[in-house]
């Protein structure tokens, strides 16, 4: 399957279990791996046969910077769902949401969740 990658999109959101996270907000990163047939776009040089990267970014931004959720699992599900709604050519999506500064003790680069979803008919 052909893929479009959009990596390390950075956003400011208010997701988390703790009141401080919902009030102060924090950074979130999102990686997307989107599956679709890119051959028609490649052969025709027609954007209508692919997915606009800027539109992908805007859909993701609206979710991450919008309504606050307790879990980044929910953020990932909302992104995957909305991508299928907005882009009918999309066949599969791998969504990874990173939370680099969670309020938990320890030394690590980030915590993250990754989900894979396929379009259902």
Alpha carbons 62 and 78: distance in angstroms, whole number: 10
Q: Is 72 exposed, middle or buried (0-12, 13-18, 19+ CB in 10 A)?
A: buried
Whether 109 is a known active-site residue: answer no
Helix count (H) and strand count (E) of the chain?
A: 4, 4
Question: What does pTM read for this prediction?
Answer: 0.95
pLDDT in tens, 47-80: 999 999 999 999 999 999 999 999 999 999 999 9
Per-residue pLDDT tens for 81-114? 999 999 999 999 999 999 999 998 998 999 999 9
Q: Which fold has domain 3-118?
A: GTP Cyclohydrolase I, domain 2 (3.30.1130)
Catalytic residue among 3, 23, 49, 99: 99
């Amino acid at each position: 399957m052909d893929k479009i990658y959009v990596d390390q999109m950075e956003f400011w959101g208010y997701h988390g279990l703790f009141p401080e996270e919902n009030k102060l907000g924090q950074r979130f990163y999102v990686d997307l791996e989107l599956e679709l047939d890119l051959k028609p776009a490649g052969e025709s040089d027609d954007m209508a046969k692919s997915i606009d990267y800027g539109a992908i970014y805007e859909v993701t931004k609206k979710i991450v910077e919008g309504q606050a959720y307790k879990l980044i699992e929910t953020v990932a599900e909302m992104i995957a769902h909305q991508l299928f709604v907005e882009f009918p050519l999309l066949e599969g999506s791998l969504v990874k949401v990173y939370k680099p500064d969670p309020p938990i003790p320890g030394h690590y680069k980030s915590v993250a969740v990754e989900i894979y979803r396929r379009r259902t008919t």
